[in-house]
Amino acid sequence: MLQTPCIIAISIDNGRYKKKTADGNCKVAEHLSQRTHTARIFVDAIRENDDLWRSGNGLAVECVIGEKVKPIRPSRKPVWFIGDSITAGIHVNGDKEPETNSYVESYTNVASNLLGLANVPIAYGATGITTAGSGGVPKASDYLNFDMAGVPDQCEQPEWVVLNYGTNDRKNRKVFLTEYRQYIYQLLDRVHSIPIIILKPFVGVYSKEIDILASEFPNVFPVNTSDWEASYTDDLHPDSYGSKLLGIELARVITDILNRKN
């Protein structure tokens, strides 16, 4: 059931993702050989400004039709990547939505694939620690535990969490540190003692505040991104190539942090 224009990404047997516009009867694959195949299907892109929060606009799967089709539990360990449109992969290929948005091309998904992990994105455009965003979505603390208004999420407990907030909080400097601290406490109630990695925004703000915040919690790690090189589609959003560069840097940093912990 399709409520808004939507692009899906399909990978057969870990092959390259192929994208197509979702419709009422979406064909995932055909003419496959007579052996067992694995299909991975993602909602790759929807429009940032659609009513995602109150109406839950998006893609719903009513049924799967095929011979000998069965679900499998993902073997990759989950990691939560929480943030705004940059984390969600908005505008990685330009401005015309939804075609130019892409979860699979986001820097977080690049990092996840390099690390052999499952990317669980919790990200909405224009949101922040102190500000609500696009599509009627509230600020970060109000959507942390929900898929949409009134619908609790069912995310599996992650191995660790990566946060990237601050880009949309630039006008709220006086309250940013206080509200981010409250958000970390809220997050810890959900994930307890796992590592939390806080990226300093790519736009170069709130470095000092994030260092202070990380010093207050034993399992929170700040990450300086000021020397991470990337190309952008505009002043804020990395493009597809820039996302690859950022994903490589993020995978390196996560590996370094976990090696230090061990």
214 domain-assigned: yes
Q: Note the pTM of the prediction, 2 decimals.
A: 0.93
pLDDT at 234: 95
Q: The tokens 């011979």 sit on which residue?
A: 67
**Count of domains in the chain?**
1
Q: What is the pLDDT along the chain (262 residues), one digit of tens a residue?
A: 556 789 999 999 989 999 998 887 788 888 889 899 999 999 999 999 988 898 877 777 777 877 788 888 878 999 999 999 999 999 999 988 999 999 999 999 999 999 999 999 999 999 999 999 999 999 999 999 999 999 999 999 999 999 999 999 999 999 999 999 999 999 999 998 899 999 999 999 999 999 999 999 999 999 999 999 999 999 999 999 999 999 999 999 999 998 887 6
45 domain-assigned: no
CATH code of the domain covering residue 168:
3.40.50.1110
pLDDT at 2: 53
Strand partners, 122: 82
| b/e code 196-235 from CB counts within 10 Å (16+ = b) | bbbbbbbeebbeebbeebbeeeebbbbbebeebebebbee
pLDDT at 113: 94
Give the list of residues 6+ apart from residue 231 with CB closer than 8 angstroms, or none. 238, 239, 241, 242, 245
Is the omega angle on the peptide bond into residue 201 within 30 degrees of 0, that is, cis?
A: no
58 domain-assigned: no
59 domain-assigned: no
104-138 per-position pLDDT tens digit? 999 999 999 999 999 999 999 999 999 999 999 99
pLDDT at 64: 80
The residue segments making up the domain with residue 256 are: 75-261
244 domain-assigned: yes
51 domain-assigned: no
27 domain-assigned: no
Strand partners, 12: 39
10 domain-assigned: no
CB 8: neighbour CB atoms within 10 A? 20
